[in-house]
A and B are shown apart, each in its own frame.
Chain A
Amino acid sequence: GEQVEQRPPHLSVPEGDSAVIICTYTDSATAYFYWYKQEPGAGLQLLMSVFSNVDRKEEQGLTVLLNKKDKQLSLNLTAAHPGDSAVYFCAVSANTGANTGKLTFGHGTILRVHP
């Protein structure tokens, strides 16, 4: 089945700096890519979604890059602020094959943005 590796597991950046989180996946049929944010004791908030025909997407201080050749997905938070501190998960799913309709998550990155 699909394997998703996410790094780093922990990330601490000063306020105003960028934070970059990277995921790699294994299934060539993977077509949908997501980034979720989870604050303590809360559910998962969808940040960005990308389909496989998109290489780059920017929204509200977030940039998602997709490198299908290397099966790599990244999230860049530009000018991070303390309110961005949370756990971030990448998640992927396929539109064909055994992983259709199944969202597979990375193990998460605990981001801390300090003043």
Chain B
Amino acid sequence: NTKITQSPRYLILGRANKSLECEQHLGHNAMYWYKQSAEKPPELMFLYNLKQLIRNETVPSRFIPECPDSSKLLLHISAVDPEDSAVYFCASSRTGNERLFFGHGTKLSVL
């Protein structure tokens, strides 16, 4: 799926700050961050619809989302913890309650 691009693809961090980026070219209004830990299903972190934060699941405060416009989504991470090692997927849907399309993910490894 090249219509949802995520960067970077791989990220290795010590206790540093970093941002993940996502951009969708589908004209969708809703964008999501999902976290997939090893051998587990994806779990919702945040949902934006029309740039408004609609859902904020129980996520540590070191994760801060940002939606500068309806096609872009950022995830700022500060002082990562080893439990944060996972693949972070960006997704989008047309209205926020329809089928989701996922990006390829950013694999975060915390040293």
Contact = CB atoms under 8 A, between A and B. Distances in A.
User: Are the chains A and B members of one assembly?
Assistant: yes
Interface of A: 32, 34, 36, 42-46, 49, 89, 91, 93, 95, 100-103, 105-108
Contacts of A105: 41-43
Size band of the interface chain B makes with A: 20 to 34
Nearest to A90: B41
B33 interface: no
Contact of A45 (B1, B43, B54, B55): B1
B97 A95 contact: yes
Please name the 8 residue pairs, one residue from A and one from B, whose CB atoms are nearest each other, closest first: A105-B41, A44-B102, A49-B99, A43-B102, A43-B104, A101-B96, A101-B97, A43-B105
Interface in B53-111: 54-55, 57, 89, 96-105
Contacts of B98: 32
A34 B102 CA distance: 13
A107 B55 contact: no
